[in-house]
């Protein structure tokens, strides 16, 4: 019996975080630093590349892609999109900038350095979040599914995300952090940390109260926007029409 217990313990140590406890690990966030954020930005995508912060913003007639100065929140460079496009997630892979649109069934490719337009693609589903593991594109569409695609938006693999054994819908903005996929759950203050191989939610991050009440107004919308800078390993969060962007760290509940 002791040998059997030892074997089971060894297996547990080798399995993902949530597998042996039966439930995902639970975290909350603590603010480390606070920075200005353009309150006209309906944040859809947020990421670092080469130490630089980029942001894509949505809404018809307001959609943009920006190189953002972290300290001031101001756009150093900016692409504006036509009124017929509602821009969603974005990321850079292999020197190319990729941008999704919501319901227009179009995805865009640009040169990441010059921001020069290269081409557009027919995109067969709604565009929500977009990130990369450095080898492929990873997208959400508001369902419980994540789509792993090549640089031509051809699906190579699909994973269903499950929380406590049940499909978790409304996966929105995505970020690849240390081998895991972080995802905002739309309309909530929760971020989930996902195992990309099987879709299992290994941890939840409670962001309740991150933006204080005194910084909210009638236009302030939901939490959305996760950026990880691999150079200094700092994590940043913001939301749609938020006045602030926060550097945060995780604290176990």
Least confident of 11-25, 114-128, 144-158, 218-232: 11-25
Dump pLDDT digits (tens) for 37-72: 999 999 999 999 999 999 999 999 999 999 999 999
Dump pLDDT digits (tens) for 133-155: 999 999 999 999 999 999 999 99
Let me know: does 62 contact 102? Beta carbons within 8 Å.
Answer: no
Q: How far is CA 63 from CA 8, 42, 76, 87, in A?
A: 52, 8, 16, 5
Residue 8's pLDDT is 35
Let me know: does 3 contact 11? Beta carbons within 8 Å.
Answer: no
Average pLDDT, the chain: 92
pTM for the structure as a whole: 0.90
Let me know: does 40 contact 241? Beta carbons within 8 Å.
Answer: yes
- Collapsed DSSP state (helix, strand, coil) of residue 12: helix
Residue 5's pLDDT is 38
pLDDT at 115 over 50: yes
Residue 16's pLDDT is 43
Q: Give the C-alpha separation, 19 to 39, whole Å.
A: 40
Dump pLDDT digits (tens) for 176-200: 999 999 999 999 999 999 999 999 9
Q: Give the C-alpha separation, 101 to 91, whole Å.
A: 13
Q: Give the C-alpha separation, 185 to 200, whole Å.
A: 15
- Collapsed DSSP state (helix, strand, coil) of residue 215: helix
Dump pLDDT digits (tens) for 84-104: 999 999 999 999 999 999 999
What structural domains does the chain harbor?
A: 24-252 (2.120.10.30)
Structure tokens at 49: 């590349």
Q: CA angle at residue 239 from 238 to 243, to 5 degrees?
A: 75
């Amino acid at each position: 019996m002791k040998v059997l217990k030892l074997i089971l313990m060894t297996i547990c140590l080798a399995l993902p975080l949530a597998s042996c406890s039966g439930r995902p690990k639970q975290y909350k966030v603590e603010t480390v630093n606070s920075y200005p954020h353009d309150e006209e930005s309906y944040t859809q995508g947020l990421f670092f590349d080469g130490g630089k912060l980029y942001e894509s913003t949505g809404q018809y007639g307001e959609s943009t892609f920006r190189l953002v100065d972290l300290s001031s929140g101001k756009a150093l460079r900016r692409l504006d999109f036509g009124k017929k496009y509602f821009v969603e997630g974005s990321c850079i892979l292999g020197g190319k900038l990729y941008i999704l649109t919501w319901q227009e069934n179009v995805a865009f490719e640009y040169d990441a350095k010059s921001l020069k337009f290269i081409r557009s693609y027919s995109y067969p589903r709604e565009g929500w979040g977009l990130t990369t593991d450095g080898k492929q594109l990873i997208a959400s569409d508001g369902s419980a599914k994540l789509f792993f695609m090549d640089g031509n938006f051809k699906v190579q693999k699909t994973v269903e995300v499950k929380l406590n054994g049940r499909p978790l819908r409304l996966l929105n903005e995505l970020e690849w952090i240390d081998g895991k996929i972080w995802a905002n759950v739309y309309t909530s203050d929760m971020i989930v940390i996902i195992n990309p191989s099987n879709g299992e939610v290994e941890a939840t991050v409670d962001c309740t109260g991150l933006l204080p009440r005194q910084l909210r107004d009638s236009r302030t919308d939901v939490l959305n926007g996760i950026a990880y800078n691999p150079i200094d390993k700092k994590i940043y969060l913001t939301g749609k029409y938020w006045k602030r962007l926060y550097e945060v760290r995780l604290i176990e509940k």
